[in-house]
Amino acid sequence: MSGDVRIKTRDIARAAVRAELAQVSLDLFQRDGFDRVTINDVAAAAGVSRNTFLRYFGTKEDAVLAAFDAWGEQVADVVRARPADEGDWAALRRGLDLVAEEYRRDPVGALATARLIRQTPSLRARNLEKQCGWRPLLASALAERARTSSTQPVELDLLVRAAAALDCLDIAVDHWTAAEGRLSLDELLDAAFTALTAG
């Protein structure tokens, strides 16, 4: 077996363990409440040691939000690939289709996770922190689309647009969660962007 194959197999195995630990964590948090479940509880339920859990996730919050880690880069890639003649707001809105698709793919799981995040202050704060990390990724994607130089006013403008788009996402998900998933997240995102750009 070549070194590349061994590394690839190891990466696949690591991703599978990480996904399993995340799922066990979510199940326990949703059943017993985030604040009542400890890392030791999750490790025991997963049949691993506390140290093994901590090798994959630094905190309980990270175990819940692990699926969101790649979304910032993925949304930025979609924005970057949008047609050059499309406006920034439209490109950002289309980029967020990727997130909406994840909610459509597993609406029951997504709703349970969204409820857990919105009911747990530490999870809500960590989620917003992750989204703040997406801002420069989205601003950079907008700059690449416009082929602009990285001057301070342009950078500020693009960061503000990215932040506003992410606020639209957060508000749309809040409404979707409050409606128990009965509303269309796509339509809520459209309405949020319309409200943002109406002025």
Q: Quick one: what percent of the chain has pLDDT higher than 70?
A: 92
Same domain, residue pair 108 and 192: yes
Residue 119 above 60 pLDDT? yes
Burial 37-71 (b: 16+ CB within 10 A, else e): beeebbbeebebeeeebeebbeebbbbbbbebeeb
Looking at the domain assignment, is residue 64 inside a domain?
Answer: no
Residue 15 and residue 88 in one domain: no
How confident is the model at residue 106, as a pLDDT?
A: 92
Which of 33, 59, 85 is the endpoint of a domain? 59
Question: Is 149 within a domain?
Answer: yes
Handedness of CA 8, 12, 18, 19 (dihedral sign): positive
Of 23 and 4, which is predicted with more confidence?
23
Which of 59, 80, 105 is where one domain is finished? Answer: 59
Whether 6 has a pLDDT exceeding 80, the answer reads: no
pTM, entire model = 0.85
What is the tally of structural domains in the chain?
2
Is there a domain that residue 65 lies in? no
| Residue 152, domain member (yes or no) | yes
Average pLDDT over residues 79-104: 95
CATH code: domain of residue 32: 1.10.10.60
Structural domain harbouring 35: 3-59
- Work out the pLDDT band at 154, boundaries 50, 70, 90: very low
Q: 164 Cβ partners below 8 Å, 6+ apart? A: 196
Q: Same domain, yes or no, for 37 and 88?
A: no
- The answer to whether the CB of 37 falls within 8 A of the CB of 60 is yes
CATH number for 80: 1.10.357.10
140 domain-assigned: yes
pLDDT band of residue 69 (cuts 50, 70, 90) is confident
Q: Are residues 53 and 76 both part of a single domain?
A: no
Is residue 45 domain-resident?
Answer: yes
Q: pLDDT, tens digit, for every residue of 51-61? A: 999 999 999 99
